[in-house]
Every structure is written in structure tokens, then in C-alpha cells.
Amino acid sequence: MATYIVLLGPPGVGKGTQARILSETSKLAHVSSGDLFRENLKNETELGKLAKSFMDKGELVPDDVTISMIRDRISRPDCEAGAILDGFPRTPAQATALEDMLAEFGSEVNAVPYITAAESVLVERASGRWTCKAQGHIYHEKFNPPKQAGVCDIDGSEVYQREDDKVETVTKRIRVYFEQTMPLVEHYRTAGKLIEIDGTQPVEQVTKDLLAALKR
């Protein structure tokens, strides 16, 4: 049976970084809804144009659009063994849609690591985040700057600040998160699938905790 892991956590907690690491170690596909939207934005698709108006304001893209994008993505062959879902689901309607989709494949959500941190830490982290243009490698101006300013260590492409990582938008995204995504925490806790991880620790320790918890 395929393995599906849903990573939950507010903007700035390091969810994307951990999802990448987890995907490499587990060999499961990394499916990031935010990355998929940004890819559409870059390629100027209809979906990208629609998503942009919501993303720029720090709001969520409507459920129907998001759900059908994820359905397409997890139906691809590289998700046959399962996936690490990063940024999806984000609303109760998306969680229900995901459960229905996976049931069609004869699967289910296996575990839901929830990476947490206080709101003040999140604003500082998310608003200092810089992203590489080519592949989305993540840096932080204070905690993890690239060796050469503005250049990705890994692929040499330009490192930029995402429009929605500017401080006003970050604050809005965190508020939206607490309003719309927190119910999912309770939903997965009740289902006995939630694993809480302290996201204020160094990246390596968060990874260790995450891997240990998933093994259990």
C-alpha cells in the first residue's frame, strides 16, 4: 500500500525544508501545493493567473481549483508509492477531498507530523526567507544565508524574496493559517494520526525528531 504523509505547520516553521529532506530519505514524491502554484505562475498558465491574485494577498486559493490541481499531481506515476504532502490540505474541505481521493486509490493518510512554533518566531523566520529561482532551495537572511549574497549555493541561480514572504503578507498568511488550517490539527489528532514536533529547534534536530516519530 502507498504511504501518504501530510505535513502540517504554519508559514515559516520550516515545513518546506523538512518536506524536501523527508522526500529524499523516504524516496516518496514531494508534493508542495505552494510550489505547484508558483510553477503555474512562472509559466503564466490560466491557473497561475488565477492563483496569483490570492497568493499576493496572503489568502488561500479556492478549494475547487486547489483540489483538482492536487488530484492531477498525485495521479502521476511518481506518486504511485505515495507522497509527502506539503501545504495541502489546508482547509477541512481539502482534507475531506484528500481522504476521498486516497480511498479511490485504496490508500489513506498514514501520518500527520505537525511542526509547531510561537507566532513571533514565525514572523521573524518567514519574513527573512529567501528562495532560489531555479529550484526553490530555501535560505534565511539571518539563520542560513547563502555563502555568496543573492546566489544559490546548490545551483548558482538567483536567490530572491517571494512577494508573499514580505512582512505584511507573512503576518496575514499566519492569521489565515490559524483561522483555516487549525481545525485540521484537531481533525487529525482525533483520528490518532497527529505527531507534534517542536519546530523551534535547529533544522537537524527537527529532522531527527520527525524521522524517529515516523519510524514509530
Q: How far is the CB of 180 from ligand AMP (least distance, A)?
A: 9
Q: Which of 4, 7, 159, 164 binds ligand AMP (CB under 6 A)?
A: 164
Whether 12 contacts 202, CB under 8 Å:
no
Beta bridge partners of 29: 83
Buried b (16+ CB within 10 A) or exposed e, 13-28: bbbbbbbbbbbeebeb
Which secondary structure element, helix H or strand E, spans residue 111, and what is its range?
A: strand 109-116
90 binds ligand AMP (CB under 6 A): yes
Angle between helices 63-74 and 46-55 (to 10 degrees): 130
Q: Is 189 a known active-site residue?
A: no
Other CB atoms within 10 A of residue 105 CB: 15
Q: Which is nearer to ligand AMP, 52 or 193 (by Cβ)?
A: 52
165 binds ligand AMP (CB under 6 A): no
Burial grade of 92 (CB within 10 A; 0-12, 13-18, 19 or more): middle
Residue indicated by cell numbers 475547487: 64
130 binds ligand AMP (CB under 6 A): no
Q: Which of 4, 37, 114, 188 binds ligand AMP (CB under 6 A)?
A: 37
Q: How far is the CB of 64 from ligand AMP (least distance, A)?
A: 11
Q: How far is the CB of 152 from ligand AMP (least distance, A)?
A: 17
Pull the grid cell for residue 65: 481549483
Whether 42 contacts 51, CB under 8 Å:
no
Pull the grid cell for residue 116: 509547531
**In this chain, which stretch among 29-37, 100-108, 117-125, 133-141 interacts with ligand AMP, using CB under 6 A?**
29-37
Q: Is 52 a known active-site residue?
A: no
173 binds ligand AMP (CB under 6 A): yes
88 binds ligand AMP (CB under 6 A): yes
Q: Is 129 a known active-site residue?
A: yes
List residues binding ligand AMP (CB under 6 A).
11, 33-34, 37, 54-55, 58-61, 66, 87-88, 90, 94, 164, 173
The residues annotated with a catalytic role in the active site are 15, 90, 129, 162, 173
